[in-house]
Amino acid sequence: QVRLAESGGGSVQTGGSLTLTCTAPEPAFKSYWVYWVRQAPGKGLEWVSYVNNGGLAIFYADSVKGRFTASKDNAKNTVYLQMNNLKPEDTAMYYCAADEGGRFSASWKTTSDFKYRGQGTQVTVSS
């Protein structure tokens, strides 16, 4: 069992920045790939970024490429999502999730598809 907890959400204006943090106390966290996904009201689940277990392979959705930066610090059992130049369309509940490498599919529709997931943190960007 891996218990994920997100933090760092909030309300910012367009162009602002936030850093989301995802932590887990279990050492097993280090062996999992970690995903950031988001869901806006009335919309489906959208993957944002994911990091492999070692933290060296990082992937971004086109919608956030160049603005968001993900990183994984296995020494601290923490994954970060630095979000810059935020836009109103980034407004959503952001979740971190963990799973074994190779399982993820962009067609997954709920956070329950992931082996482990956090409760989410709200990000609101006003124009």
pLDDT at 35 over 90: yes
Average pLDDT over residues 55-83: 97
pLDDT at 102 over 90: no
Four-CA torsion 100, 54, 22, 18, nearest 10 degrees:
-130
Average pLDDT over residues 92-118: 94
Average pLDDT over residues 27-39: 96
What per-residue confidence (pLDDT) applies to 10? 98
pLDDT at 64 over 90: yes
Distance CA 53, CA 73 (A): 10
Average pLDDT over residues 35-56: 96
Percent of the chain's residues with pLDDT above 70? 100
What per-residue confidence (pLDDT) applies to 22? 98
